[in-house]
Amino acid sequence: MSIFDKYLEKAKSKSNAGSRGKAVKNSGYSAIESFTDATEDENIHEGHRRRMRERYEKDPDMETFAPHEVLELYLFNAVPRKDTNEIAHMLINTFGSLSAVFEASVDDLMSVKDMTENAAMMIRQTLTVADIYHRMKFADRAALGNAMSVSQYYRSFFMNKNRELAYAALLDINDCIISTENVGKGAAATVDIDSVKLMRNVREKYASKVIFMHNHPSGNVYPSDIDLVTTSSMMVSLHMMGVRLVDHVIFSPDGYYFSFFQNGLIAILGRRCNTFFDIDVMSRPVAGGDGTVYGRGGVGLSFENYEACENELLGDGEEMESYRDLAERFKNGIVHHVDDTVDD
């Protein structure tokens, strides 16, 4: 028996059963017609999918694809035998952009008509998988010798984030990563640095150098006066532990970054700290045999001095004004994108 015969027999049995004696409108022929229409629809969708895949093979970077077409093709993997073009349009109309779709929660995605749980889970996991991919891709190149290598290794930590986050890369003497510490989570325009956690990890993991990183969700990567004060106080506190702050990198959500080292700000702030605290933060102090870290001239200081340094810098109105002037000077500083090929 062919599939058409089976479908006709099923339709006839429903017709004969009726609705307790009532006439049934759909005859066997109309059932065959409905089945034929459905089959034709599936063939149309399959033909469209095949053409989309062929188009992708010719343009794997998807430069000629509109945002809804990128999403439509992506949904082929989780939504079989359905028109994903309409779903893609509804998703982008609902959330406003392609990036917002990928940032949406599973519950919000499931609220869109015709979305399946598998499709919602796949979309939600995309950024996480991309994050893991970038970390693993650069795992065998974990020596951070310049701002470009920092930006490439840590790009996924800050891409498309809508609140400020702060991380510190703890390095050994050869610039290889010992660990990456999350030292702050904030709001859209501010982040509180967990200085105690940072200094404790630096001490416990025997770091020789630190690269501090945070993001500006606004997209403006130029440092603020508070960024300069934070960097200065961190530089002094790390120096007191025998550790160098070698860079502070600010990221935007779309992959641009500003390097303090590349723009000469590490050297400028270092000279300021030398004068302000009467120490040389650009050189390494000597650690005593009992584990106590001594600053230049044998002055012993502990990692809890971070807040003290920051409070002293913030407490001086004239000094704070000079940081504002410095921030203004660097509004035209050097900015790169993570995909740029540059030598620092």
For residue 113, the domain's CATH number is 1.10.150.20
Name the domain count of the chain.
2
pLDDT score recorded for residue 314: 53
pLDDT score recorded for residue 288: 34
Edge-to-edge strand order for the sheet containing 256-259? 177-185, 165-171, 209-215, 244-251, 256-259, 336-337
Residue with the bigger pLDDT between 139 and 154: it is 154
Q: What mean pLDDT is predicted for residues 48-58? A: 87
Positive or negative torsion for Cα 138, 139, 140, 142 = positive
Q: Are residues 84 and 227 in the same domain?
A: no
Q: Are residues 106 and 149 in the same domain?
A: no
**Boundary residue ending a domain (63, 98, 131):** 131
The reply to whether 303 falls in a domain is yes
3-state secondary structure 275-336: HHHCCCCCCCCCECCCCCEECCCCCECCCCHHHHHHHHHHHCHHHHHHHHHHHHHHHHCCCE
Could you list the residue range(s) of the whole structural domain that residue 315 is in? 142-337
pLDDT score recorded for residue 107: 92
pLDDT score recorded for residue 327: 81
Q: What is the mean pLDDT of the chain?
A: 75
Rounded Cα gap, residues 212 and 253, in angstroms = 17
Q: Are residues 162 and 303 in the same domain?
A: yes
Q: What mean pLDDT is predicted for residues 193-212? A: 89
Q: Are residues 72 and 205 in the same domain?
A: no
- pTM, two decimals, is 0.56
Residue with the bigger pLDDT between 107 and 268: it is 107
Q: Are residues 113 and 248 in the same domain?
A: no
pLDDT score recorded for residue 23: 42
Q: Are residues 75 and 122 in the same domain?
A: yes
Span 114-132, pLDDT tens digits: 888 999 999 999 988 887 7
Q: Are residues 288 and 166 in the same domain?
A: yes
pLDDT score recorded for residue 36: 46
The answer to whether residue 185 scores a pLDDT higher than 60 is yes
Q: Are residues 219 and 298 in the same domain?
A: yes
Span 237-275, pLDDT tens digits: 888 888 889 899 999 988 899 988 888 888 888 877 776
The reply to whether 21 falls in a domain is no
The H or E element spanning position 177 is strand 177-185
Report the CATH number at residue 310: 3.40.140.10
Rounded Cα gap, residues 72 and 91, in angstroms = 10
Q: Are residues 61 and 168 in the same domain?
A: no
The reply to whether 38 falls in a domain is yes
pLDDT score recorded for residue 213: 94
Q: Are residues 241 and 281 in the same domain?
A: yes
The reply to whether 23 falls in a domain is no
Q: How confident is the model at residue 31 (pLDDT cuts 50, 70, 90)?
A: very low
pLDDT score recorded for residue 111: 93
The reply to whether 24 falls in a domain is no
